[in-house]
Structure 1
């Protein structure tokens, strides 16, 4: 039995993602980092040299003037990842694309292309889009409601996977001696006719060395967890404490088992910032300094409305009771997150200011300390089944370098993390099996007849 090993991902958000409005002021970060391919290549090569499993590119398609700097001006994921594919060799390449504002054939083809360009290192973070304003960028009168978005996502992925199964092994004969390029019996139409999509197929691109892209998912609602347990190979999440991590881990793996899936074939990868100092006290001082400098209260208040459909909370007295009615604006947005904030604010009797401050405080990290302390805590979470690995937010580059140079070697010395890649594909390095084409079983029966 293969020994369970920690997985590591890198999440680069350039000039500053949520909660980091002023990160771009760090002179260690180019002011155009979020659109600079040279910057991306540099940081991803650092991660690859440290044997990280993957780089994860977050994305959305709607902005306001209050969006974080990185969100305002960033490269499209598949374009960026295709460039990174030819600048790297082994690290996985994961991008966020929505099922609400794409079409299955186009998206399946684009991901299959990335998978072939990278020789089997592509991954797709499946999202349904929480920003309701996105509808206005795609000629739609309104954003799909929550239930409809999830039903569409399930069907969308089923179609994509059906298209990735268009080709059996050996379909492309490419025999110059006989002049045969294709074995037509091994190429299959899809002929899907569903609630949202009618897709004929087949897909006009072959399968990659890992069969199909690795599927990632990040929903935290009951529907989101059920979707992840049903369709995902890996789960992006967040946990403030080891107890929260263990509860999510057990719940998700349990749901997968009830679906008849092998729970070990789903990798749980929560995202964290990591702060490394010469001592534990030094690291905590670094965290406090960055959190103070990277976002003011006024900036946090302006950004606070995103899960509430970009509701403008600046219209309220920040020292008055939390405006519960604002939850209505979140019904077609990031409702689970908004409701969690609202319910806690009501239960604790918070003012708006207190709610904003508590959300800011909730972005603190459990992985703060000397390199030894951080490694100890990662080991505790890993062995305690609170995670299978970490998605490390790049944040300030000096901190990422300290993590790579000081923490990763300790994890390697303890046998928790690889010293070299096990495989050439993302699926192989994550310890996931290659899914067979839907037509392979019937093909085996046909060939035996």
Structure 2
């Protein structure tokens, strides 16, 4: 009997949960978003569940408009810098992968290469970088711009950015630092490879001042849903966060993205697609749905409308809540999150009222809502029919929904042979079944010798 396909599971963690009203729930802890002990507890809980990775999303900006509305749902208004956070979490965990968002629009390649290489060393090989181009103009204004550059331009810059970062990660061969006291030689000069890059966006001449990291390089994560974003992921990403809120959409995304990889000389197994889901568990399906509905009722109407307007990139605040949103309110194009834009536009075209859209909108994540058995059934079905390689779970209320998942769903997945009982390796690459990449300079030299032979 062949072994069943094993699913990858990541935890997307916001302070009190990903729900727009999570901070209002009884279990929510004030100031959790800047409490490192709290994040350590959440990471240890996820590690107890044998998750592949613990992930922190980020944007380098506070909101500076509509502050009364934002005060009712303070997402990213008071948060720790994520790489700093994960370095602190690394010391409180031993196996779980540690991923964070950092923007190619507002960093320099050398900074990112050094930061994530350091995290990989500090965690003994558990680092992952979520490569984003940023998707709000609040961030742009912090870095000398009025608004984000066009979507295509941001991806062109991101491609060059990532290529420079990966070259810097390979600027030392494995084993370059020998610390040989007898010969008074700390490193082997021939194992350094200078990066000499001059491109449209970046000029870099030098080498990274840290040895090659335990994973060779940190795992590359990406989440773009546009055509440009999919090509970028097919060429570079090792984990992709799927952004389809239904099974058919997820299957289509999976087949399309895996199908693009061959033109970049990559195999489908070189990339893990983790569908974004949220999970609500009850003793019955009705209990789970009632629980979710009670949380939805906590969302202030102003917050629901503002979230829609932000992701649709237009102001909906002057529209009546209990009437359908006119289709002419849908902008012709999106410059931020294509998947979120399409989700909202689709509901508008269905004729739903503004209030109903605000309550249903889940930022392109599927809601798995039901008993332990039902949730395990759904996860197994998505895996079996080619909708994903695993799941990126947004825990809507913390710590309760993660605790329920770890204590109830994980044992059921293990019983079905779909998920590990324990970690078999130490690095995130080992958890995900991803190869440790060979240093490009060593590979190029080997190819050159082979051609001359």
* Superposition TM-score, scaled by structure 1 size: 0.92
Q: Say whether residues 1:426 and 2:428 are aligned partners.
A: yes
Cα contact 1:163–1:202 (8 A) shared by 2: yes
Partner of 1:150: 155
Partner of 1:26: 25
Q: Which residue of 1 aligns with 2:46?
A: 47
Q: 1:359 to 1:25 in 2, by over 3 A?
A: closer
Residue 336 (structure 2) aligns with: 333
Q: Which among 405, 409, 412 is matched to residue 411 of structure 2?
A: 409
1:362: Cα distance to partner?
6.9
Alignment partner, residue 10 of structure 1: 11
Provide closer, same or farther for how the CA distance between residues 329 and 76 of structure 1 changes in structure 2, counting only shifts above 3 A: farther
Aligned to 2:390: 389
Q: In angstroms, what is the RMSD of aligned CA positions?
A: 2.4
State whether residues 215 and 436 of structure 2, in contact with CA within 8 Å, keep that contact through their aligned partners in structure 1.
Answer: yes
**In the TM superposition, what is the alpha-carbon distance from 1:71 to its structure 2 partner?**
1.5
**In the aligned structure 1, how far is the partner of 2:20 from the partner of 2:360?**
17
Deviates more, 1:391-400 or 1:334-343: 334-343
Give the superposition deviation at 1:61.
2.0
Change (3 A) 1:427 1:84: same
Deviates more, 1:149-158 or 1:133-142: 133-142
Alpha-carbon distance, 1:2 to partner: 8.0
Report the secondary structure of 1:208's partner residue.
coil
Q: Which moved more, 1:143-152 or 1:64-73?
A: 64-73
Counterpart residue number, 1:36: 35
Matching of residues 97-176 of structure 1 within 5 Å: 97-176=102-181
Of residues 153-162 and 325-334 in structure 1, the stretch that sits farther from structure 2 once superposed is 325-334
Aligned residue number for residue 82 of structure 1: 87
The count of corresponding residues between Structure 1 and Structure 2 is 443
Deviation at 1:177, TM superposition (A): 0.9
- Answering whether residue 279 of structure 2 is matched by residue 278 of structure 1, we say no
> What CA distance in whole angstroms lies between the structure 2 residues aligned with 1:362 and 1:224?
16
Describe the shift of the 1:2–1:78 C-alpha distance in structure 2 as closer, same or farther (beyond 3 A): farther
Judged with a 3 Å threshold, the aligned counterparts in structure 2 of structure 1 residues 5 and 361 are, in CA distance, closer, same or farther, namely closer
Cα deviation for residue 47 of structure 1 reads 0.8
Contact 2:133 2:155 in 1 (8 A): yes
> Compared with structure 1, are the counterparts of its residues 326 and 77 closer, same or farther at alpha carbon in structure 2 (3 Å cutoff)?
farther
Q: Cα–Cα, structure 1 residues 290 and 434, in superposed 2: closer, same or farther, change >3 Å?
A: same
Unmatched tracts of structure 1, length 5 or more = none
Native 8 Å contact 1:122 1:426 kept in 2: yes
Structure 1 residues 357 and 292, CA gap change in structure 2 (3 angstroms): closer
Gap change, CA 1:354 and 1:330, over 3 Å in 2: farther
In structure 2, distance between residues paired with 1:387 and 1:99:
26
Q: 1:63 aligns to what?
A: 62
Distance between the aligned counterparts of 1:298 and 1:308, measured in 2? 15
Cα distance change on mapping 1:169 and 1:226 into 2, 3 Å: same
Change in Cα spacing, 1:200 to 1:341, as seen in structure 2 (3 Å) is same
Name 1:250's counterpart in structure 2: 255
Conserved? CA contact 1:98–1:129, under 8 Å: yes
In the alignment, is residue 193 of structure 1 matched against residue 193 of structure 2?
Answer: no
